[in-house]
Amino acid sequence: MSTPGSAPLPALDLGQDAAAVTAQLVDIPSVSLAEKELADVVEQALRALPHLTVDRDGDAVVARTNLGRPERVVLAGHLDTVPIADNVPSRLDADGVLWGCGTSDMKSGVAVQLRLAATLPEPVRDLTFVFYDAEEIEAARNGLKRLVERHPEWLAGDFAVLLEPTDGKVEGGCQGTMRVRVGTTGRRAHSARGWLGENAIHKAAPVLARLASYEPRRVLIDGLEYREGLNAVRIEGGHAGNVIPDDCEVIVNYRFAPSRSEEEALAHVREVFDGYEVVLTDSAAGALPGLSHPSAAAFVAITGTDPAPKYGWTDVARFTALGIPAVNYGPGDPKLAHTREEHVAVAAVLEAEERLRAWLSA
Q: pLDDT tens, 239-270?
A: 999 999 999 999 999 999 999 999 999 999 99
Is 59 a residue of the active site?
Answer: no
CATH number of 18-173+287-361: 3.40.630.10
Domain ranges of the chain: 18-173+287-361, 176-284
Contact 321, 285 (CB under 8 A): yes
Tell me whether the CATH fold assigned to 18-173+287-361 matches the one assigned to 176-284.
no
pLDDT at 341 (0 to 100): 97
Question: Which residue is catalytic, options 43, 135, 158, 353?
Answer: 135
- Give the SS3 label for residue 112: helix
User: In the predicted model, is pLDDT for residue 47 greater than 80?
Assistant: yes
Nearest Cα residue to 349 out of 116, 85, 64: 116
Question: Which residue is catalytic, options 35, 40, 59, 80?
Answer: 80
Nearest Cα residue to 356 out of 164, 47, 172, 115: 115
CATH class of 176-284: alpha beta
Contact 136, 360 (CB under 8 A): no
Element containing residue 226 per DSSP (H, E): strand 224-227
Q: Which long-range contacts (CB under 8 A, 24 or more apart) does 90-95 make?
A: 90/22, 90/23, 90/26, 90/27, 92/23, 92/346
pTM of the model: 0.87
pLDDT at 138 (0 to 100): 86
Is 55 a residue of the active site?
Answer: no
